C-alpha cells in the first residue's frame, strides 16, 4: 500500500466523495497514512503511482488511452506547446487570483471555520489535465497554490502525480461531477479539455480566475489537411464565449500563434495524441507522414480566454 502523497492529503478536505447524491457535499480526509475516506465510510487508497481514483465505475470511452498519453508526453517534453505554457504562466501573473477570505466563500454545508480551513492554501484546479504539463507550469507561477489535476484517464493521472510536488492527481469523470467542493478553487484551468460552465462557477470562489485554452481553426496546419486530422470549427471561440456568458466576465483574450519545426517522429506523436487517434488508420497515417517534408513547419494556434467568476 502506498502512502497518501502530501499534495493529496493537503487538498483532501476540498475533494468530494463520489458516492453521494448531487446535492450532497461530503468531503474526504486522510483516514490513515495510506488511505483517504469520507465520514460515511467510503475509502480510497491511492494507487502505487500516487493518484487517487474517484470513479464509481470503469472509465468512459472518452478517457485518453495509454498510447495517447504517451504521445502527448513526447510532444510536450519536446517543447511543442512551450509558448502556450508561457502564456498560461503570464496570464496568472497579470491577473492575480483573489485572496480568499472565509466570509467571501459559500458552500452548501460547511461552517465558516470549515471553509477557512479549506480555502488555505489557495487551490488551482486543472480540468482534463492530461499529463499535468501545463498545470505544473502554472503552479510554478503561483508559488503559494496547491494544485489538483483532474482527468478521467488513469494513464494521464499516473504522469500528473509525478509532475509537481504541489500537484495532486485525481481520476474522475467531470461529466459525472467535478469532485471539488463549492467555492474553494481560486484558479480553474481548462486546456483542450471538456468544459462544464456550471461546474466551473460552482467550484470557483467569487472573483476566481477561469482560464480556458482552445484550438483556433488553423491549429496544426498543414497537418490537419495532410493527415486528415479532426478540424476545429470556425465558430469555436464564439461558442465558447456564449457558454461562459453567464456568471463570468472576460478579462483578456490571448492568441498563441507560433510555428514549430517537427520531425516525423513528432508529427506522428501530434497526430496520435488527440481525438483524431480514434479514427486514423495507422498504415494510411504512416504513408501520409512519409510524404511530408522533414522537418515540417506546423502551426500552433491557440486562443486563451481569461475570465473572472462574477460575485
Ligand X SMILES: C[S@@+](CC[C@H](N)C(=O)[O-])C[C@H]1O[C@@H](n2cnc3c(N)ncnc32)[C@H](O)[C@@H]1O
Binding site for ligand X (CB under 6 A): 62-64, 72, 128-131, 133-134, 150-153, 156, 173-175, 191-194, 274
Q: Which is nearer to ligand X, 64 or 182 (CB)?
A: 64
- Residue 151: exposed, middle, or buried by beta-carbon count in 10 A (0-12, 13-18, 19+)? buried
Displacement of CA 184 from its chain's centroid (Å)? 16
Sequence-distant (≥ 6) Cβ neighbours of residue 95 within 8 angstroms: 209, 251, 252, 306, 308
Longest dimension (CA), the chain: 63
Q: Which is nearer to ligand X, 100 or 167 (CB)?
A: 167
Which of residues 8, 17, 84, 118 is near Zn ion by CB under 5 A? 17
In whole angstroms, what is the distance from residue 268 CA to residue 286 CA? 8
Encoded one letter per residue, x for contact with Zn ion by CB under 5 A and - for no contact, window 31-70 reads -------x-x-x----------------------------
Q: Which does 303 bind (CB under 5 to 8 A by kind): ligand X, Zn ion, none?
A: none
- Report in angstroms how near the CB of residue 229 gets to Zn ion at its nearest: 41
| Cβ–Cβ under 8 Å, residues 128 and 195 | no
- Report in angstroms how near the CB of residue 215 gets to Zn ion at its nearest: 37
Interface with Zn ion, residue 177, by CB under 5 A: no
Q: Which is nearer to Zn ion, 38 or 267 (CB)?
A: 38
The sheet that has 43-44: what strands, in order across it? 29-32, 35-37, 43-44
- Report in angstroms how near the CB of residue 262 gets to ligand X at its nearest: 17
How do 123-127 and 185-191 pair as beta strands?
Answer: parallel
- Report in angstroms how near the CB of residue 123 gets to Zn ion at its nearest: 20
Collapse the DSSP code of 71 into the 3-class scheme (helix H, G, I; strand E, B; otherwise coil) and give the result: helix
Per-residue burial over 262-276, b if 16 or more Cβ lie within 10 Å, else e, is: beeebbbbbbbbbeb
Q: Which does 40 bind (CB under 5 to 8 A by kind): ligand X, Zn ion, none?
A: Zn ion
Q: Which does 151 bind (CB under 5 to 8 A by kind): ligand X, Zn ion, none?
A: ligand X
Q: Which does 215 bind (CB under 5 to 8 A by kind): ligand X, Zn ion, none?
A: none
In whole angstroms, what is the distance from residue 54 CA to residue 32 CA? 17
Q: Which is nearer to ligand X, 76 or 285 (CB)?
A: 76
In whole angstroms, what is the distance from residue 79 CA to residue 41 CA? 44
Which of residues 19, 90, 231, 299 is near Zn ion by CB under 5 A? 19
Q: Which does 156 bind (CB under 5 to 8 A by kind): ligand X, Zn ion, none?
A: ligand X
Q: Which does 62 bind (CB under 5 to 8 A by kind): Zn ion, ligand X, none?
A: ligand X
The CA-based angle 287-83-157, given to 5 degrees, is: 75
User: Which residues of this chain interact with Zn ion, rule CB under 5 A?
Assistant: 17, 19, 26, 38, 40, 42
Amino acid at each position: 500500500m502506498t502512502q497518501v502523497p502530501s499534495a493529496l492529503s493537503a487538498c483532501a478536505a476540498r475533494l468530494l466523495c463520489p458516492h453521494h447524491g448531487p446535492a450532497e457535499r461530503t468531503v474526504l480526509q486522510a483516514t490513515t497514512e495510506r488511505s483517504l475516506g469520507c465520514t460515511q465510510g467510503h475509502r480510497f487508497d491511492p494507487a502505487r503511482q500516487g493518484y487517487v481514483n474517484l470513479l464509481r465505475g470503469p472509465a468512459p470511452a472518452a478517457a485518453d488511452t495509454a498510447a495517447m498519453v504517451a504521445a502527448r508526453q513526447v510532444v510536450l517534453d519536446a517543447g511543442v506547446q512551450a509558448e502556450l505554457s508561457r502564456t498560461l504562466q503570464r496570464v496568472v501573473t497579470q491577473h492575480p487570483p483573489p485572496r480568499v477570505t472565509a466570509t467571501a466563500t459559500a458552500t452548501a454545508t460547511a461552517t465558516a471555520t470549515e471553509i477557512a480551513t479549506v480555502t488555505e492554501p489557495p487551490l488551482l484546479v486543472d480540468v482534463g489535465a492530461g499529463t499535468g504539463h501545463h498545470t505544473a507550469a502554472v503552479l510554478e507561477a503561483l508559488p503559494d497554490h496547491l494544485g489538483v489535476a483532474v482527468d478521467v484517464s488513469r494513464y494521464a493521472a499516473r504522469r500528473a502525480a509525478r509532475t509537481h510536488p504541489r500537484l495532486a492527481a485525481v481520476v474522475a469523470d467531470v461529466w459525472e461531477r467535478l469532485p471539488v467542493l463549492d467555492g474553494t478553487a481560486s484558479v480553474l484551468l481548462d486546456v483542450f479539455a471538456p468544459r462544464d460552465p456550471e461546474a466551473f462557477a460552482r467550484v470557483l470562489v467569487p472573483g476566481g480566475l477561469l482560464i480556458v485554452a482552445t484550438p483556433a481553426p488553423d491549429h496544426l496546419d498543414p497537418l490537419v489537411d495532410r493527415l486528415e486530422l479532426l478540424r476545429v470549427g470556425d465558430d469555436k471561440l464564439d461558442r465558447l464565449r456564449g457558454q461562459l456568458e453567464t456568471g463570468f466576465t472576460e478579462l483578456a483574450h490571448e492568441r498563441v500563434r507560433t510555428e514549430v519545426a517537427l520531425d516525423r517522429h513528432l508529427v506522428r506523436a501530434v497526430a496520435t495524441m488527440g481525438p483524431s487517434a480514434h479514427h486514423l488508420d495507422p498504415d494510411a497515417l504512416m504513408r501520409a507522414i512519409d510524404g511530408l517534408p522533414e522537418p515540417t513547419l506546423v502551426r500552433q494556434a491557440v486562443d486563451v480566454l481569461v475570465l473572472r467568476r462574477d460575485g
